[in-house]
Chains A and B, each alone.
Chain A
Amino acid sequence: GAGVSQSPRYKVAKRGQDVALRCDPISGHVSLFWYQQALGQGPEFLTYFQNEAQLDKSGLPSDRFFAERPEGSVSTLKIQRTQQEDSAVYLCASSLAQGGAEQFFGPGTRLTVL
């Protein structure tokens, strides 16, 4: 079945490099969410899209983080000038409807910044 997919699954970057993480949501899902999950912690909200509109980006930790979903389907999370503290698993989730609906998570991208 076609669930949420993310690529790459693993990414190693040198400090200062830019990275781009991709999320393919379930077809037809309106809402898309990005989360950051540090080791041993729960996912922390980063940003939320409804179709192509980014409705909430309050969780993005700095202006080095940027997310887009230009056609309302695939989304990319970009991190510029990566720092060691950016090392985490980045999870993407999608849901069929707006708000209060079940979120389906992808497997995540594990980012390691050296």
Chain B
Amino acid sequence: GENVEQHPSTLSVQEGDSAVIKCTYSDSASNYFPWYKQELGKGPQLIIDIRSNVGEKKDQRIAVTLNKTAKHFSLHITETQPEDSAVYFCAAINTGNQFYFGTGTSLTVIP
């Protein structure tokens, strides 16, 4: 089955700086890679996603890059704000429609 690894597990940045979270996956058949933000006591919320036929996608301050050959994808948040503080999860979906999540990154943006 798929194995998704996520790094780092915790990340602290100063407000206004950039944050980068990286994930690797093992199943070359995986073709959809979403990123979720989870706040305390809430379910994960999709913030951006990318499909395997695209190398990069951007939405305002958030971007995701995908390297299919190396089987890794990254989340980039620019101009971080305190409200960006949360736990972020990457995921990969395989042909069986199963989502495999990473172990999460706890991001703290220091005002």
Interface positions of A (Cβ within 8 A of B): 4, 31, 33, 35, 40-45, 48, 55-56, 58-59, 91, 93, 98-100, 102-108
Contact = CB atoms under 8 A, between A and B. Distances in A.
A90 to B, nearest CB: 11
Contacts of B101: 35, 42-44
A98 B6 CA distance: 26
B102 A100 contact: no
Contacts of A4: 43
Interface of B: 4, 6, 31-32, 34, 36, 41-46, 49, 51, 89, 91, 93, 95-104
The 8 closest A-B pairs by CB, nearest first: A105-B43, A42-B101, A100-B32, A99-B97, A45-B98, A105-B44, A107-B43, A43-B101
B104 A108 contact: no
B61 to A, nearest CB: 20
B93 A99 contact: yes
Nearest to B99: A45
Contacts of A104: 46
B99 A33 contact: yes
A42 B98 contact: no
Chain A at the B interface: mostly helix, strand, loop or mixed?
A: loop
Contacts of B32: 100
Given A48-B97, A56-B96, A98-B97, 16 more contacts: A33-B99, A35-B99, A35-B101, A42-B101, A42-B102, A43-B99, A45-B99, A48-B98, A55-B97, A58-B98, A91-B44, A102-B49, A103-B46, A107-B41, A107-B42, A108-B42
Nearest to A48: B97
Given A42-B102, A55-B97, A102 B89 contact: no
